[in-house]
Structure 1
């Protein structure tokens, strides 16, 4: 029996290939767990696929997918549930290679100390390079809320970051 495909499968596949890694990285910065990040990214992409025929502005797909990742992350953090660590045979996946891996790891660890809503603002503003207004639209809040959450999140982040020596000084 042959499986029929939707007429938009090719378009969606191209979008998936282009965007899945960035969504997963955004999710990882929010939750600090590659497996959970994969789940968040897959949930976003599944919702995007289901909504694809109704989406008239394909130029806004990245914003929609990021919004789904962030909302799913925030919704999971609002739930009160028992969480426990799961042991695996494989070591955890490393962060994406960066010019200074040590600083990236320290930054990611410090980011995990920031409350989830503030962390979402920081990731959208500074990692995804969204404007205040774009971040506000993604989180469905006011620009003032984005600014205050960013200020509080940065203050918390600074408390958990060690001082790095400045090169060339």
Structure 2
């Protein structure tokens, strides 16, 4: 018996939500609330066009592309610069994560322009090729290479001497 489209989408969404959320967290420099919103909007857009997924060879890669485009669209809005303030709850590190490293990297990513951040996340977190990143962002391969070099230089500058310390952990 053939699965319905809704069942197929539910299976896809269950499998990809965690990955989309982690990518969104990196894009938003750790803003989990915005990351949840971006993930939800991405899944909503994917559901709306799920019937046409047969033409798209890789729905997971397409979902990542939709996520990045949704993030960039959000960054263009005026309200994107508003940041809620408040105390962050103290919590113990989970699964051996290093809070100092996480905070330093998220702060460094936050200092990048949205498109530079998107290039870094797609190229080095998602491990996409230059061509795949260029397709996702609708730019040329040369633009991706240029943005990668400049973004990595900015990250090195922001992390300073700490980058060697982080690499040994």
Match of 1:3?
none
Match of 1:126?
124
Q: Render the CA deviation track for 1:121-141: whole Å, top value 9, x for unaligned.
A: 000000000010111111111
In the alignment, is the contact (CA less than 8 A) between 1:26 and 1:123 conserved in 2? Answer: yes
Query: TM-score by structure 2 length?
Result: 0.84
Q: What is the DSSP-based 3-state SS (H/G/I as helix, E as strand, rest coil) of the residue aligned with 2:21?
A: helix
> Can you give the 5+ residue segments of structure 1 that lack an aligned partner in the other structure?
1-5
CA RMSD, aligned part only? 2.8
Match of 1:12?
9
CA separation of 1:10 and 1:61: change in aligned 2, threshold 3 A: same
The correspondence for 2:114, drawn from 110, 116, 121, is 116
Match of 2:155?
157
Q: What is the DSSP-based 3-state SS (H/G/I as helix, E as strand, rest coil) of the residue aligned with 2:54?
A: coil
2:35 is the alignment partner of 1:40: no
Match of 2:101?
103
In the alignment, is the contact (CA less than 8 A) between 1:125 and 1:131 conserved in 2? Answer: yes
Query: TM-score by structure 1 length?
Result: 0.84
Q: What is the DSSP-based 3-state SS (H/G/I as helix, E as strand, rest coil) of the residue aligned with 1:91?
A: coil
Q: Which moved more, 1:54-63 or 1:122-131?
A: 54-63
The correspondence for 1:72, drawn from 57, 70, 82, is 70
**For 1:77-88, what aligned pairs fall within 5 Å after superposition?**
77-81=75-79, 83-86=81-84
Match of 1:142?
140
Length, aligned pairs only:
163
Structure 2: how far apart are the matches of 1:156 and 1:127? 17
